[in-house]
Amino acid sequence: MVALNEGLRRKKALWRPAGRHELGSLALAPWASRRRQDLLDLLDQLTPKIQELTQALEAEVEKRPVTRRLMTHPGVGPLTALAFELVLGTAERFHCGKQIASYVGLVPEEESSGDRRRLGHISKQGNSLLRFLLVEAAQVTVRSQP
């Protein structure tokens, strides 16, 4: 937030040493400077825990061939692939891909009457975390495709 208020839009580069130096060199009001330091301290505390969880996630992915295969799709990383496998279980219990999409809540709601057919927004049934991860994977894929 502090960086955006000052016009810095570097995303991940902001948290690398050069970006953190630039962030630290910004002239801010005393309250904003204190907030900046509190947030950087919190980042320093959380970084080792995040790395530990990332290593545990990657170790679990290595044990699961289905998860590794899911990661071959563009935009699908270890977290999305593992969540997909754990939430859905065995894919054989679904007859087709439409059932999986419905189970996750990625199909439109339908309000039909007689000959009139109206499709609304996605139903949002099922696991919201998995749906969020799949939408993020799709957005990453769209951004990375030329």
Do 83 and 110 belong to one domain? Answer: yes
Supply the pLDDT for residue 124.
Answer: 84
Do 144 and 80 belong to one domain? Answer: yes
Supply the pLDDT for residue 10.
Answer: 52
Do 53 and 69 belong to one domain? Answer: no
Do 48 and 92 belong to one domain? Answer: no
22 vs 40: CA distance, rounded Å:
13
Do 39 and 101 belong to one domain? Answer: no
Supply the pLDDT for residue 4.
Answer: 43
Name the phi and psi angles at 120, rounded to 5: -105, -150
Supply the pLDDT for residue 9.
Answer: 54
Cβ atoms of 19 and 2 within 8 Å: the answer is: no
Q: CA-CA distances (angstroms) from residue 101 to 27, 33, 36, 54?
A: 50, 47, 42, 28
Do 82 and 118 belong to one domain? Answer: yes
The dihedral through the CA atoms of 105, 133, 60, 41 has a sign that is negative
Do 44 and 71 belong to one domain? Answer: no
Q: Which two tokens stand for residue 29?
A: 């009001």
Number of domains in the chain: 2
Do 35 and 89 belong to one domain? Answer: no
Do 29 and 72 belong to one domain? Answer: no
pLDDT in tens, the chain (146 residues): 444 444 455 566 777 778 888 888 888 888 988 998 898 899 889 999 999 999 999 999 999 999 999 999 999 999 999 999 999 998 889 999 899 998 998 888 888 888 888 888 888 888 999 999 999 999 999 988 87
On whether the pTM is more than 0.85, the answer is no
Do 85 and 106 belong to one domain? Answer: yes
The domain in which residue 105 lies consists of 64-146
Do 68 and 125 belong to one domain? Answer: yes
Q: Which of 57, 73, 99 is the last residue of a domain?
A: 57
